[in-house]
A and B are shown apart, each in its own frame.
Chain A
């Protein structure tokens, strides 16, 4: 605790004049206001969850737990299941992380180290920071008009040509697909993944690395057997935080996933995610059941991201502030 003055009490016996007394009241008032604002945040967060939970109740009571593994989406007979959406969210996020992890880790290793090729560090890290600021709807627009045709005409046939013996890479090629959404997610989570892993890697004690180098290990060997093992927990946390982003990403994915609820092993097929179905159907949902279903889907999404985020935060915290702040 570096904050020694957290509670400086001005209560000397000198307080006699009305003005000073008013000041002390002012202190209590101000403190009360500050604490109240903190409590307000907790309150808003509680309402945040309730605002999803209460409207979801008609759906929760009607469908129960089987909702989570139901596959139906039938607004006429009011039969609903969330599995295709959970599947879409999980598959696209998994593809995104599979692509982003090696790239992000490599980039973070480069940015954390401070000896080689210093001149490209500044512009490239600026580019990555810039990427963090680009709105998701702009990335979606680009993906829809530029990436999707390339995926359909070039990338997907090429992958099919190479790995056509696998069930994941079977035609037809659609452009809007699990794979495209996954690639978009990879692009979108890269900045946060790089920034967090870079900080974690920088927190690895320099003395450990120098010891390894002094023993004759090359840089690559030092990275592999000293830096990465030491930073493992923190990097895992960073990956989970990025995963949390990917799971909840809405607009860009909605624009390129094709919005078809289906479960298939073909990555070139169109799918749907938890967040996209809310974005697309929410304003058109009529009746408490269909609305409730969408709220419950939102609730599932939020609960998944909360779990992922809490685990990630604990891991990153444990790593980056052992000295406390």
Chain B
């Protein structure tokens, strides 16, 4: 009997350890969010944070207007490239990709997902910046992020398309529609929820990326709207301001970090909400 009791005790101990592990895993995020909110909120509510340009080092005040616009522009161009191409590759994988080529594309895309984010920056630097095609510019940053976003978009598109029942395709074909119309007008709309979710998730990932922008978009203290010039971004603001010894710039880093977290979270929640609404 005592042996059984020991086994039960071990069982309970393990159950406790498992719960402990989950709590340990969840604690950092709570602490982290707490600090980002506490340290970032005052800076974010400070006048001019959203509307002013950064002040020179040592001059108090200033805002991140240029970085906000920069992030939006860089992500905008990246999405403009990555989403259509990614969706098309997803269509290829789901509708025409049940062969060697499809498997290769799937595998390469999975490996691409695991690449260090800084490698995307080097890639865009070599192809676009070093060759003087565009130089340090928002477009080069967008290109780096677009390649980083592609695997996310194409995989979620493929998954979404595979969930569309085959009867939809057969019904369309039986009505005499050619396959391209069946795909574009029946299959893709039916899977739109998953596709939009994938696009949003890829944007959420790209918004926070810093490493790919370091030697592409490069950063800019001034307002720059021309995508062919160096441009600031929120993530670059956080990175650069964190490493300077000026309190106001560090406060700005926290505020920009909070803004980034908000952007990412809102995008993620939108994606989830969208899925739920579609599934209903």
Contact = CB atoms under 8 A, between A and B. Distances in A.
Interface of A: 1-8, 10, 23-24, 26-27, 29-31, 33-35, 37-42, 44-45, 47-48, 51-52, 54-55, 102-107, 109-111, 116-117, 120, 124, 127-128, 130-131, 133-142, 144-146, 187, 190, 194, 218-221, 223, 241, 244-245, 247-251, 255, 275, 278-279, 282-283, 295, 298, 301-302, 305-306, 308-310, 312-313, 325
Given A27-B180, A51-B123, A141 B28 contact: no
Contact of A220 (B15, B107, B181, B268): B15
Interface string B237-273: 0110011000000100110010011001100100000
B88 A45 contact: no
A131 B254 CA distance: 17
A9 to B, nearest CB: 9
Interface in B92-106: 92-98, 101-102, 104-105
B122 A298 contact: yes
Interface stretch (B48-56, B61-69, B110-118): B110-118
B26 A127 contact: yes
B15 A26 contact: no
Interface in B177-204: 178-181, 183-184, 204
B211 interface: yes
Contacts of B18: 106-107, 109-110
Q: Closest 3 A-B residue pairs measured CB to CB?
A: A135-B208, A106-B21, A248-B116
16 contacts: A4-B166, A30-B183, A34-B96, A38-B93, A39-B101, A48-B120, A107-B21, A110-B22, A124-B26, A137-B210, A137-B239, A141-B254, A221-B7, A244-B114, A283-B214, A298-B122
Interface of B, helix, strand, loop or mixed by DSSP: helix
B278 interface: no
Contacts of A8: 169-170, 173, 179
Contacts of B261: 134-135, 138
B133 interface: no
Contact of B179 (A27, A131, A144, A301): A27
A288 to B, nearest CB: 11
Contact of A5 (B17, B19, B169): B169
Contact of A134 (B29, B215, B250): B29
B235 A194 contact: no
Contacts of A248: 114-119
B147 to A, nearest CB: 6
Nearest to A217: B7
A146 B35 contact: yes
Interface of B: 7-8, 10-11, 13-15, 17-26, 28-33, 35-36, 39, 85, 88-89, 91-98, 101-102, 104-105, 107-112, 114-120, 122-123, 125-127, 130, 147, 150, 154, 162, 166, 169-170, 173, 176, 178-181, 183-184, 204-205, 207-211, 214-215, 218, 235, 238-239, 242-243, 250, 253-254, 257, 260-261, 264-265, 268
A10 B175 CA distance: 11
A135 B264 contact: yes
B20 A106 contact: yes
A282 B210 CA distance: 14
B126 A135 contact: no
A141 to B, nearest CB: 5
A3 B162 contact: yes
A141 B208 contact: no
Contact of A279 (B150, B169, B205, B214): B214
Contacts of B130: 55
B118 A278 contact: yes
Question: Which of B173, B239, B261, B268 has the most chain A CB within a 10 Å cutoff?
Answer: B239
B214 A282 contact: yes
Contacts of B179: 8, 10, 27, 30-31
A68 to B, nearest CB: 18
Contacts of A137: 208, 210, 235, 238-239, 242, 257, 260
Given A137-B257, A251-B211, A6 B118 contact: no
A146 B254 CA distance: 12
Question: Which of A47, A107, A244 has the most chain B CB within a 10 Å cutoff?
Answer: A107
Contacts of A34: 88-89, 91-92, 95-96
Contacts of A221: 7, 11
Contacts of A308: 114
Given A38-B92, A124-B26, A128-B25, A133 B265 contact: yes
Contact of B92 (A37, A136, A279): A37
Question: Which of A48, A54, A140, A221 has the most chain B CB within a 10 Å cutoff?
Answer: A48
Question: Which of B20, B105, B181 has the most chain A CB within a 10 Å cutoff?
Answer: B105
Contacts of B122: 51-52, 278, 282, 295, 298
Contacts of A104: 21, 25
Contacts of A33: 88
